[in-house]
Structure 1
Amino acid sequence: MAKDKANRPKARLPRGFADRHPGEIRRTQRMMAQIQEVYERWGFEPVETPLIEFADALGKFLPDQDRPNEGVFAFQDDDEQWLSLRYDLTAPLARMVAERFQEVPRPYKSYRAGWVFRNEKPGPGRFRQFMQFDADIVGAASPLADAEVCMMAADTMEALGFGKDEYAIRVNSRRVLDGILSEIGLPEGDPRRLTVLRAIDKADKFPLPEIAKLLGPGREDESGDFTKGAGLDDRQSEKVLALLDPTADPQLSEDLVTIGEVVKRAGYDSVIIDPSVVRGLEYYTGAVFEAELKFEVTDDAGRPVRFGSVGGGGRYDGLVGRFISQDVPATGFSVGVSRLAAALAAREGASAADRGPVIVTVMDRDNVAAYQEMTAKLRAALNQDGAVVPVEMYIGDSGFKAQMKYADRRGSPCVIIQGADERAAGKVQIKDLAAGKEAAANIEDRAEWVAARPAQVEVDADIETIAAAVRAIIG
């Protein structure tokens, strides 16, 4: 036994990854169905790409002589070629379009959903595996395509139930910033450009003095971890920080002017021009956008929490062209599914998505078939006209007390109880578990509890009567 224990693997989850519970999964599925409906309404079609790509297809994340660069999870196949878990859904789309360039219509409008993986330092709300839901237009150089993506992003937020005062789609253009970076001595290809972009991208999280540290020598956070800066001098940093000054008149490129006119004429007041939007990835070449939630919720400790950015994207005219001998314009938007689902959960609280099944308890092992018959008929009665109400019979070996504990752990709204006395009388007991907890909190001893039977009702044992009582409980 000691040897077995010593060799037993430890149950542990790798840092930066998470298990998901039923309520979260159901809420995410419902949310993704709503997003898909919006994307379809705008004429976008579904496509899937694999989780694994050749590492060189991911652009800047290329393998060095011994291992892949920081940022991706990668391994070598039996041909000693580097493969990587996809970092996002955009680079795989660019590879697919290039590979099927003569087949796909252009402009090519598609959407994709799936897991992406980043080999980066995890932290609160920052995971190494998370889900994205992308929509892209490949083959349209006009800023009208950027405007369309922004308006569709706004429709998506409203389809999910966010009011116009609760979110904003913020838009900027990298062309102004790229010009300034070249002006201060950081031409295209300079490795410091990406560090600058990532520093500016944190403007919604840090005050300007902290951004200045990231543009300069670097910044040490509260934990003592040090992030190396871009190494700009004071003059260079001031030029970049001037773009983030909310009191200054924004420098508008021609594409921003067009986007602004189109969205205004179409009535999308929630799409706004904001010079602080940059996006941290280097492949963006023009307009960039970010979906931001503006409302606050409170965490378990009562502290205010603001979710901020829950999605973003932009124009990436160079990605497809990496694979073929011509430039191919493209633009797109990505929803951060996990973050957006967390925001919805925090705002809405518990919902039907978190509710467990109605449980039919088994009081008499000699009549299991009768309990199963009741369960099947009740399931059929409750799940009509599009309703989804899970119903199950307890199939464990434990007694009544353990069955009630099981129902509680499953988050069941109610349990159906029929012992020998109830069967003889043609009755069942239905216990409302949520109301029962509330009532039991005011009962001081067991005798009082037995006499009161809090939130428990007796009804006739015919299925329609039971179903009506259950509906009254679950609402």
Structure 2
Amino acid sequence: MADKPPRRPRAETPKGFRDYFGAEVTERKSMLDRIAAVYHRYGFDPLETSAVETVEALGKFLPDVDRPNEGVFAWQDEDADWLALRYDLTAPLARVAAQYRNDLPSPYRRFAMGPVWRNEKPGPGRFRQFYQCDADTVGSASVAADAEICAMLADALEEVGIPRGDYVVKVNNRKVLNGVMEVAGLSGDDKDAKRGIVLRAIDKIDRLGPEGVRALLGAGRKDDSGDFTKGAGLNSEQAEVVMGFTTAKRDTGAETVARLRELVGASVIGAEGVSELEAIAALLEAQGYGPDRIVLDPGVVRGLGYYTGPVYEAELTFEILDEKGRKRQFGSVAGGGRYDGLVKRFTGQDVPATGVSIGVDRLLAALRAKGRSTGETAGPVVVTVMDRDRMADYMGMVGELRQAGIRAEVYLGNPKNFGNQLKYADKRASPVAVIQGGNEAAAGTVILKDLILGAKIAESATLEEWKDRPAQVEVPRSELVAAVKRMLGR
């Protein structure tokens, strides 16, 4: 019996990953280049770290008996070290700041852009590999560093095409929450069960609303499916203090600060947090960043367990339609804050740090939703091949076009069927096709076919705006570049 031929590998992307083609890659690069230009203008330096870190350096994840905890893609190296694909861009920064602390300036200001990997269950719009875009200042305890990151974030959003009025950067402070917790009789460690329930409840204010959060602060909450979540068991006075924090935003920054001062009472850490918020607002105002761009908002609670001081979030305020056709606000595209203590894991000494991470895919989706896609999607000018023996002539044409800065290529498929060449140009979204058969070569001319105009005419032969423009022109060979430029300019 003959051996079965080996099974062919399946041509499919691994689960939770995806491929990015021409326009998508160009679009992302264009957006990141604009953001990088803003970061560069603020004096931040680019940093590229390896995609692979030791699991020990990643910190959150420690080796299991067989493999590290879920969350990272990890493997054991030949020398028994556990290695993993980076989970974010912050842990590698902490390692770099510790490893090169004698060589780097202090403070060290860096930005980083690149893919990160999460070994998590994929879902709709949730991938195991995605892009992050971070900027951080390591080594400055001054709130001026936090204010600067907020200003830079606002500038970056405007630079990529989100106009003022369509976004707001919201600023809060972890210390204020600590003060409020102290007043509510909940001071101590975040590992405390009751305190943990309160933190998680506050974090759900957007999703559950005030009543849902109030229920979680008290006895507990039953959701629509009937599932019951045990609450923190606070009495009504304690719950009022916590709820007061989540709704403390007022019409002006000064009024918000005054309300927060009331809430933190005699708490020293709380008062410190309120003063930091006041200082950030004053520093931003001095640079012309008013409440139309950056606001103090105690409702920003995402990730408060991780941060040690100011926290900030960029929210897009325009409406989009969700998958069910309902109107909703686009929501958050970036977040960050102060995380003093991250570098300490390596050095044993406190090193203050603050930074922001932009959700690259979410920001790209927002730009598409606004019709402000940043990528250059026009295809190349295609030089067709009418006579394969004259390939050198066609290569000469394409060379001239490229020298003039025009994106161009020669058709390299089988030139027998000319129709296929035009179909190819169409698939490449080519604006112009260059044609030179034997007759044109003898006459010293070339034919230029305006493919965009041709498509418009095909859509509607009665289009008045197009009728005076010929879809095809014959020009002297010596005028090829100038004539293509004219056509592209239209």
Q: TM-score range by the shorter chain?
A: 0.7 to 0.9
Question: Which of residues 418, 427, 430 in structure 2 aligns to 1:409?
Answer: 427
Q: What is residue 264 of structure 1 aligned with on the other side?
A: 285
Q: What is residue 473 of structure 1 aligned with on the other side?
A: 488
Is this contact kept in 2: 1:355–1:411, CA < 8 A?
Answer: yes
Q: In structure 1, how many angstroms separate the alpha carbons of the residues matched to 2:426 and 2:216?
A: 50
Alignment of 1:22-101 (within 5 A): 22-101=22-101
Q: What is residue 251 of structure 1 aligned with on the other side?
A: 260
Q: In structure 2, how many angstroms separate the alpha carbons of the residues matched to 1:61 and 1:219?
A: 33
Matched AA of 1:280: G
Identity %: 47
Judged with a 3 Å threshold, the aligned counterparts in structure 2 of structure 1 residues 14 and 257 are, in CA distance, closer, same or farther, namely same
Matched AA of 1:342: A
Matched AA of 1:107: P
Q: What is residue 396 of structure 2 aligned with on the other side?
A: 373
Q: Summarize deviations over 1:265-301 as a string: whole Å, max 9, x none.
A: 2210111111111232633111011112222356899
Is this contact kept in 2: 1:311–1:335, CA < 8 A?
Answer: yes
Residue 380 of structure 2 is aligned to residue 357 of structure 1: yes
Is this contact kept in 2: 1:279–1:313, CA < 8 A?
Answer: no
Q: 1:466 Cα deviation (Å)?
A: 4.8
Q: In structure 2, how many angstroms separate the alpha carbons of the residues matched to 1:247 and 1:290?
A: 15
Judged with a 3 Å threshold, the aligned counterparts in structure 2 of structure 1 residues 443 and 164 are, in CA distance, closer, same or farther, namely closer
Q: 1:38 Cα deviation (Å)?
A: 1.6
Q: In structure 2, how many angstroms separate the alpha carbons of the residues matched to 1:143 and 1:396?
A: 61
Matched AA of 2:439: D
Judged with a 3 Å threshold, the aligned counterparts in structure 2 of structure 1 residues 191 and 408 are, in CA distance, closer, same or farther, namely farther
Q: Summarize deviations over 1:350-373 as a string: whole Å, max 9, x none.
A: 676111111111122222211111
Residue 321 of structure 2 is aligned to residue 294 of structure 1: no
Q: In structure 1, how many angstroms separate the alpha carbons of the residues matched to 2:197 and 2:49?
A: 29
SS of equivalent residue, structure 1 residue 169: strand
Q: In structure 2, how many angstroms separate the alpha carbons of the residues matched to 1:200 and 1:2?
A: 64
Q: What is residue 448 of structure 1 aligned with on the other side?
A: none
Structure 2: gaps of 5 or more residues: 251-255, 262-273
Q: 1:21 Cα deviation (Å)?
A: 1.6
Is this contact kept in 1: 2:136–2:355, CA < 8 A?
Answer: yes
Matched AA of 1:244: T
Q: 1:202 Cα deviation (Å)?
A: 5.4
Structure 1: gaps of 5 or more residues: 384-388, 445-451
Q: What is residue 396 of structure 1 aligned with on the other side?
A: 413
Alignment of 1:153-302 (within 5 A): 153-181=153-181, 183=184, 185=186, 187-190=188-191, 200-201=202-203, 203-204=205-206, 207-208=209-210, 231-233=231-233, 235=235, 240-245=242-247, 251=260, 253-269=274-290, 270-280=293-303, 282-297=305-320
Is this contact kept in 2: 1:171–1:288, CA < 8 A?
Answer: yes
TM-score w.r.t. the length of structure 1 is 0.84
Is this contact kept in 2: 1:375–1:392, CA < 8 A?
Answer: yes
Q: In structure 2, how many angstroms separate the alpha carbons of the residues matched to 1:291 and 1:31?
A: 17
Q: 1:170 Cα deviation (Å)?
A: 0.9
Q: What is residue 460 of structure 1 aligned with on the other side?
A: 475
Alignment of 1:334-349 (within 5 A): 334-348=357-371
Q: 1:418 Cα deviation (Å)?
A: 2.1
Matched AA of 1:346: A
Q: In structure 2, how many angstroms separate the alpha carbons of the residues matched to 1:88 and 1:230?
A: 32
Q: In structure 1, how many angstroms separate the alpha carbons of the residues matched to 2:77 and 2:61?
A: 17
Q: 1:464 Cα deviation (Å)?
A: 3.1
Q: In structure 2, how many angstroms separate the alpha carbons of the residues matched to 1:403 and 1:364?
A: 13
TM-score w.r.t. the length of structure 2 is 0.82
Residue 324 of structure 2 is aligned to residue 324 of structure 1: no
Judged with a 3 Å threshold, the aligned counterparts in structure 2 of structure 1 residues 348 and 50 are, in CA distance, closer, same or farther, namely same
Judged with a 3 Å threshold, the aligned counterparts in structure 2 of structure 1 residues 251 and 25 are, in CA distance, closer, same or farther, namely same
Q: In structure 2, how many angstroms separate the alpha carbons of the residues matched to 1:219 and 1:462?
A: 78
Q: In structure 1, how many angstroms separate the alpha carbons of the residues matched to 2:81 and 2:364?
A: 37
Q: Summarize deviations over 1:178-234 as a string: whole Å, max 9, x none.
A: 34456565842417667765665555566456667888878979xx9x9x9675346
Q: Summarize deviations over 1:383-437 as a string: whole Å, max 9, x none.
A: 1xxxxx3100001114212111211111211211222333334333322223322
Which deviates further from its counterpart, 356-365 or 82-91?
Answer: 82-91
Question: Which of residues 436, 439, 444 in structure 2 aligns to 1:418?
Answer: 436
Q: In structure 1, how many angstroms separate the alpha carbons of the residues matched to 2:425 and 2:222?
A: 50
Q: Summarize deviations over 1:235-257 as a string: whole Å, max 9, x none.
A: 57776554333677552622111
Matched AA of 1:146: D
Q: What is residue 15 of structure 2 aligned with on the other side?
A: 15
Is this contact kept in 2: 1:460–1:466, CA < 8 A?
Answer: no
What is the total number of aligned residue pairs between the two structures? 456
Which deviates further from its counterpart, 209-218 or 275-284?
Answer: 209-218
Is this contact kept in 2: 1:170–1:271, CA < 8 A?
Answer: yes
Judged with a 3 Å threshold, the aligned counterparts in structure 2 of structure 1 residues 352 and 471 are, in CA distance, closer, same or farther, namely farther
Note the aligned Cα RMSD (angstroms). 3.4
Matched AA of 1:53: E
SS of equivalent residue, structure 1 residue 363: coil
